[in-house]
Structure 1
Amino acid sequence: MKLDKQFVSNVKKSIRIRNEYLREALAEILSTFVMMVFGLGSVAQVVMGGGSYGDYFSINLGFGLGVTMGIHIAGGVSGAHMNTAVTFSMCVLGSLSWRKLPVYAAAQFLGSFMAAVTVFWVYYDALFEFCRGNFTVTGPRATAGIFATYPAPYLSVGGGFLDQVLGTAMLLLCILALNDHRNSPALRGTQPLLIGLLVVVIGISLGSNSGYAINPARDLPPRFFTSMAGWGPDVFSAGNGWWWIPVVAPMVGSVTGSLLYKLFIEYHHLAEEHLEEGLGGVCSDQKHCFRF
């Protein structure tokens, strides 16, 4: 039996959310969740598969394509930041209201936490088979790194901070370039794929030191989850108290990268009237630009 079209239309109208803040929060929750499920799932397969189900490059692809899918999900609603450092830099630059920062951050953290829970339960049996139920942060059967990032043994605190600042700066610098309609932007519709590939290339080139978190929402919520799910407080003390670096350094890096692009490129563009009509024109609506 077919449903009456008018009835369906009335139902849609009754459940449609009109509050801008709530709509954007829901978009950030879902897009971040999708990105993190693909990303953490790819790490889980590599760690527990012993090389049979992927390698370091497949982790890069998992996160990169996860970003691409997230942008398709929320790009036209919230901008698909999926990254608290991106949101922070957009507020600093004046592209987003400061009042939205806590809304976006909370949504991103919630989506990331939910993704960690989901991956944990999907791979629950595999986790127990791999480590015999002994959830550890370090050692040959360590599994905490499936969910959050940890530094290489040689990495100093200062070196790790610089690593995260640089990675996030490169991310924001290139995202601004891809969306700069007065420069050489991505072709309309290709931004999600190119930003996903940008994440892949950051992983390929800058990932070995500490796993290129470059995003507080990517690292801190899953770390909190592991602290509650059996790994304990070691997730915060490991790596000389590494946990705060993927939170603070990306915030510094995001603003650094954004300002570098502005100071070297964007502030020196010719006046709009001197540009050929229609040239570029990928994302004139700042609110709906695709940003990881």
Structure 2
Amino acid sequence: MESLAAAVNNPETMAIIHKEIGFSAGQTGDCTSVYIGSQPNSVIHNITVEQEPSHSEPSNLRNTIRACARDACSEFFGTMILILFGNGVVAQVLLSHGEKGDYQSISWGWGLGVMLGVYVSGQSGGHINPAVTFANCIYRGFPWRKFPIYLSAQILGAMCGAAIVYGNYKSAIDLFEGGASIRTVPGYSSTATAGIFCAYPAAFMTRTGQFFSEFLASAILMFVIFALKDDGNLGAGQLTPLALFFVIFGIGACFGWETGYTINLARDFGPRLTSYMLGYGSEVWTAGNHYFWVPMIAPFFGCAFGGWLYDVFLYTGIQSPVNTPWLGLKRLLCFSRRRPVNLDSSV
């Protein structure tokens, strides 16, 4: 006890103690049970280790659930933001009869939606597009087991975003359509508003033309995304979302008129399903010569082709199967010919 008292009464010793613990003279820590006086005659009273929070179990459970669902939530909210801005700008331009914007405004709105959606969903990779997830599974080793999770989250996020836009513009839609109970689809009415939520092709487009337009836009999208993410190229790094803003704006401004450049199953099918549930009727599926299936299929083929094109001619990383023997066919054949695992083995 005498040595402890001597240490307490020694200013140099106390300064060392303060320095080691991280307190300045007369300062208390976050734990209220720890306090070291700074006066010469002070006594060390009650030094205890900080206790675990009394509600640690619920907090840990919440963190565990959030960790498991974080990728899905990230894609959900990222896609929802995409639709909020994309459907929102179409609604404003259409319902104002062009007084509050034009086609270029729509391109700006969708570009902003993609940029902000990617920022929101950065934790999960910022896919917000099932076709982009699909291409990453093929060429960048993204786990296939996550594909159904991302697909579901993206569609649900798009549906939610469309429902929010509808709720915001419902009064304007009622006025534009001519009544609260009137909901019509392009091609069936001159005051149709279903085009706010999903794409409807130009009347002159053939089914082949519809598919090719979506295929081309999707291929361009994936080709450029791989270029932006390639550190062996210039790469965009943390500016990738901003670069994607210009990519989407460019695709919309240059290739969007014929089919509405959906290039995204979730972006079209989710809001289309929401509009059907809101009373727009079966015409949402039959309009445009049953156009609805084109945005569900063409983006996958387009993104797969665009990613393949980039990897064959420009990408040098070994991550892509294209840069393995026989353009990845050898890896595929070796995988399919693997010997079955002996479940009885003790090894």
Confirm or deny a common fold (TM above 0.5).
yes
Alignment partner, residue 97 of structure 1? 143
Residue of structure 2 equivalent to 1:87: 133
> Contact (CA 8 Å) 2:262, 2:295: kept in 1 or not?
yes
Distance apart, 1:15 and its partner CA? 2.4
Q: Who is 2:296 aligned against?
A: 247
1:34-88 deviations in Å (ceiling 9; x for gaps) = 111011000000110111111111111111111111111121x100100011011
Q: Aligned in 2, Cα 1:17/1:67: closer, same or farther, shift over 3 Å? A: farther
Q: In the alignment, which residue of structure 2 is the partner of 1:156? A: 206
Please name the residue that 1:193 is paired with: 242
1:53 corresponds, among 100, 103, 123, to: 100
Matched, 1:141 2:188: no
Q: Which runs of 5+ in 2 are unaligned?
A: 1-29, 32-51, 319-347
RMSD: 2.0
- Equivalent residue pairs, number: 264
Stretch of structure 1 that moved more, 170-179 or 12-21: 12-21
SS of 1:104's equivalent in the other structure is helix
Letter in 1 for 2:82: M
In 2, distance between residues paired with 1:146 and 1:213?
A: 12
* CA shift for structure 1 position 91: 1.1
Does 1:40 find its partner at 2:87?
Answer: yes
CA–CA separation in structure 2 for the residues paired with 1:233 and 1:210: 20
Q: Give the structure-2-normalised TM-score.
A: 0.72
The Cα shift of 1:7 comes to: 6.1
Three-state SS of the structure 2 residue aligned to 1:213 is: coil
Amino acid at match of 1:46: V
Is contact 1:213–1:219 with CA below 8 Å preserved after alignment?
yes
Between the aligned partners of 1:155 and 1:97, the Cα distance in structure 2 is: 37
Return the offset for 1:209: 0.4
Task: State how far apart, in whole Å, the 1-side matches of 2:226 and 2:54 are.
Answer: 41
Tell me if structure 2 keeps the 8 A contact 1:17–1:23: no
Report the TM-score, using the length of structure 1 for normalisation: 0.86
Query: Which has the greater radius of gyration?
Result: 2
Unaligned runs of 5+ residues in structure 1 are: 270-292
State the AA in 2 paired with 1:208.
W
> Does the CA contact (< 8 Å) of 2:232 and 2:316 recur in 1?
no
Moved more, 57-66 or 12-21: 12-21
Q: Is the 8 A contact 1:60 1:203 kept in 2?
A: yes
Partner of 1:118: 164
Cα deviation for residue 19 of structure 1 reads 6.6
How far, CA to CA, are the matches of 1:87 and 1:8 in structure 2? 41
Residues 21-32 of structure 1: pairs in structure 2 closer than 5 A: 21-32=68-79
Per chain length, whose mean CA-contact separation is higher, i.e. which structure has more relative contact order (CA < 8 Å, sep 6+)? Answer: 1
SS in 1 for 2:77: helix
Residue type at the aligned position of 1:145: G
Percent sequence identity is: 38
> Quick one: which of 99, 113, 120 aligns to 1:73?
120
Q: Find the counterpart in structure 2 of residue 264 from structure 1.
A: 313
How has the CA–CA distance of structure 1 residues 35 and 9 changed in structure 2, closer, same or farther, with 3 Å as cutoff? farther
Structure 1 CA distance for aligned equivalents of residues 99 and 296 of structure 2: 32
